[in-house]
Amino acid sequence: MRLLAIFAHPDDESFFCAGTLSKYASIGHEVYLICATRGEQGRILHPGIDPESYPKGPARGRLRQGELEAACAILGIHPPIFLGYQDSGYPLEVAQANPQGFMHTDLREVEEVLLEHMAGIEPQVVIGFDPQGYYGHSDHIHLHRATLGAFWRAGQRMPRPPQRLFFPVRSPARVRQTRFDPEVYAVAENSFAVRLDVRPYAATIRAALLAHRSQVGPEEAFDQVLQAWPGLLEEESFVLGGLRGAFPSMPTDDLLAGMV
């Protein structure tokens, strides 16, 4: 089987579903990752990396491209496919003031680009952002809309369109332990389609996150990152964003359950 994850910035894949990507690659499936931007506006949290050596823009993007390539190698998935859009920045006020940012690009154009990649890869399963962009980042929400459009339009364009679209999400209990509002960003557990125990992949998830050195900081400080994202090394949960064909009773523990 072929799985395609579609995310916006280097590190999204490792924070939101590293265990899942690693699991399916490790059991012999082809796992691809599209990254819409190179994260050109990301903050640098590692004291060993001088932000002035990597100013926001192309230089910071190159730094983060290298980090994502390293993370993909650790996860055992194909090298990332960059779409070359510009990171809008975060929060919303920053993104709105950045007219070059991805969130301002034409949605139909992005959808078309995604469709071209889908047609080339022919994934059976697509993983992408939920309507709230996991925690509300404007680039994530923009990419959600394009991904959803591409998943359904693939039915007109591809002889074998993807069968399932999944969105990684968090339960109220998990969001409650972060700085984000569970009323806004959590998803009710009884809507989970797949709950994947990723504890066997904890070391790989941790290594992939640490590959994003500029974003997670030194290894010693990584415990703080884990505290901010409880459950990161335990379970990854998904809701269905789209479905062609049958699906077993929910929740299951396998994105590919029932597929032949």
Q: Which residues bind Zn ion (CB under 5 A)?
A: 8-9, 12
Nearest approach in angstroms of CB 219 to Zn ion is: 22
Q: Which residue lies nearer to Zn ion by CB, 88 or 171?
A: 88
Nearest approach in angstroms of CB 139 to Zn ion is: 6
Q: Which residue lies nearer to Zn ion by CB, 12 or 130?
A: 12
Nearest approach in angstroms of CB 186 to Zn ion is: 18
Nearest approach in angstroms of CB 158 to Zn ion is: 27
Q: Which residue lies nearer to Zn ion by CB, 11 or 111?
A: 11
Nearest approach in angstroms of CB 254 to Zn ion is: 26
Q: Which residue lies nearer to Zn ion by CB, 8 or 216?
A: 8
Q: Which residue lies nearer to Zn ion by CB, 215 or 237?
A: 215
Can you give the three-state secondary structure of the chain, one letter per residue?
Answer: CEEEEEECCCCHHHHHHHHHHHHHHHCCCEEEEEEEECCCCCCCCCCCCCHHHCCCCHHHHHHHHHHHHHHHHHHCCCCCEEEEEECCCCCHHHHHCCCCEHHHCCHHHHHHHHHHHHHHHCCCEEECCCCCHHHHCHHHHHHHHHHHHHHHHHHHHCCCCCCEEEEEECCHHHHHCCCCCHHHHCCCHHHCCEEEECHHHHHHHHHHHHHCHHHHCCHHHHHHHHHHCCCCCCEEEEEEEEECCCCCCCCECCCCCCCC
